[in-house]
Amino acid sequence: MSTLLRVTLIALMLGTSSLTACRSVPVSEQTQATEKIPVTVSIEPQKYFVERIGGDRVKVNVMVENGVDPHTYEPKPDQMRFLANAKAYFSIGGDLEKAWLPRLLGANNQLKVVDTSQGIEKLPNLGHDHNHHHENPSGESENLDPHIWLSPSRVKQQAKTIYQSLVKLDPKHQAEYQANLNQFIQEIDSLDQAIRQQLTPVKNRPFMVFHPEWGYFAKDYHLKMIPIEVEGNEPSAAELAEIIQQAKANNIKVIFTQPEFSPKIAQAIAQQINAKVITISAFSPDWLNNLRQVSQTLAAELK
């Protein structure tokens, strides 16, 4: 046998053995190496929180897309299909979930529901009808503000709850989740400090919003939120006249609206009091930078 032929045969044997070695890795192990944990959240900011802690190890399905009113949103068929294989649902504790959760559990009775609002002190919901006070099965009042993701200090607690849940689902990567959590909390603390510095010059100033989403933010940073909505509804003519008087009394020069709601009422009020209308979002996917920008806007407009 010629030298060239022997070299060719050896090369072919080595190539075959390499392919065999690759095929010897169990398919299940290869799948586990790349498989992401499927989870569902209610709103975009929660996706941001889960991905900051879970990193590339999670695949997050968001029920309410940015710019859509969460109070009237209906889940889409593809979202329900995703839920059939989801490992966990991270809830925010808002009214929008009360109609969904039975359906979600019906689609996947193994779904682990994690209430990210657990252990968080809540404020009264200014958009709730105070004449209809109910309690949910856990005994907690429904007349509570669900917008806890707009308070950096409360987001730290939510982040810890998300971390604990991911560790239970995937204990092998606990160290990675812990490192991600530590980094996220450091960034939250930096954000909180920056917002306090920005808003200290306008401490105790009132600001007007259409939908009362910013109550926790106002409390944290010593501002006064005046909502246009009355018990979750657009104001009547008499209530609108009262709001206009309140705006004049508080020297309101800017009204903040949200992309999920019609700006028409706010624009009508602004015309009466010679104020401008600015849109800010509570549901931005980029939570950290969004709160930083909202703080800069408030600091500039409330001077």
CA R_g for the chain = 25
What's residue 125's pLDDT?
80
Alpha-carbon distance 189 to 10, whole Å?
Answer: 62
What's residue 21's pLDDT?
40
Please, which contacts does 33-36 make with residues 24 or more away whose CB atoms are closer than 8 Å? none
What's residue 77's pLDDT?
78
105 pLDDT band, cuts 50/70/90, is confident
What's residue 132's pLDDT?
35
| Span 136-161, pLDDT tens digits | 433 444 588 999 999 999 999 999 99
What's residue 72's pLDDT?
67
Q: What is the mean pLDDT of the chain?
A: 83
Whether residue 279 is predicted with pLDDT greater than 50 in this model: the reply is: yes
Rounded mean pLDDT of 25-32?
A: 39
What's residue 93's pLDDT?
77
| Span 158-174, pLDDT tens digits | 999 999 999 999 999 99
What's residue 82's pLDDT?
83
What's residue 185's pLDDT?
98
Q: What percent of the chain has pLDDT over 90?
A: 63
| Span 196-208, pLDDT tens digits | 999 999 999 999 9
User: Pick the residue with more confidence: 268 or 127?
Assistant: 268
User: Pick the residue with more confidence: 280 or 69?
Assistant: 280
232 pLDDT band, cuts 50/70/90, is confident
71 pLDDT band, cuts 50/70/90, is low
Rounded mean pLDDT of 66-79?
A: 72
What's residue 142's pLDDT?
58
pTM: 0.82
CA distances from 155 to 38, 50, 187, 246, 284 (A): 22, 11, 11, 32, 15
Rounded mean pLDDT of 173-186?
A: 98
What's residue 6's pLDDT?
46
Rounded mean pLDDT of 210-215?
A: 94
What's residue 95's pLDDT?
66
| Domains present along the chain, CATH in parentheses | 31-196 (3.40.50.1980), 199-301 (3.40.50.1980)
